Amino acid sequence: MNLIAAVDKNWAIGCGGRLLVSIPSDRETFRRETVGRAVIMGRKTLESLPGGQPLAKRTNIVLSRDPDFRAKGAVVCRSVEEALAAADGFAAADVFVIGGREIYGAFLPYCDRAYITYIDYAYQADTYLCNLDLDPDWMLESESDEQTYFNLCYTFRRYVRKS
């Protein structure tokens, strides 16, 4: 299973329920990696998507503790185990955890690869991802050349879980 996220230099991922920044090449990488695959997200992440709608051309698995929550075009699950079962028809490489914070935390133990857009800037933030650079179970496998978007510098990193 994979994790995919954009983080700032402090491994922040959001503020006030929104992403920190929107970088076109990050959005394109996200789309390229996830189209045709399964994505696992929380209810708040689903609601933050355009129109609050599931992502097109993907199997959307949404976790919510609310027993009355429904989402047209998505598989709604109530637990990590139920979400894992819903993704069972996919190869592990074709399942992406896309947020938010609680979902990343719950599924990180099941992930063996992380696709991180690392933004060399510190935003005002209230939501963070585990810093994989400091996690002894993870190692940086590859990093792109530095990219720029206006005055932002960022790289695409791929982490793998150590055996």
Query: Would you call 136 exposed, middle or buried from its count of C-beta atoms within 10 A (0-12, 13-18, 19+)?
Result: exposed
- Residue 120, pLDDT > 90, answer yes
Of the pLDDT bands very low, low, confident and very high (cuts 50, 70, 90), residue 163 is confident
Of the pLDDT bands very low, low, confident and very high (cuts 50, 70, 90), residue 125 is very high
Work out the average pLDDT over 124-132.
Answer: 97
Query: Are the CB atoms for 74 and 54 separated by under 8 Å?
Result: yes
pLDDT tens-digit readout, 75-109? 999 999 999 999 999 999 999 999 999 999 999 99
Task: Tell me the pLDDT of the chain averaged across its residues.
Answer: 97
For each of the domains in the chain, give its residue range(s) and CATH number, in order of start. Answer: 2-161 (3.40.430.10)
> 160 Cβ partners below 8 Å, 6+ apart?
112, 113, 114, 138, 139, 141
Give residue-wise pLDDT tens across range 13-29.
Answer: 999 999 999 999 999 99
pTM exceeding the 0.85 threshold for the entire prediction: yes
What are the residues whose beta carbons fall under 8 Å from the beta carbon of 27, sequence distance 6 or more? none
39: DSSP letter: E
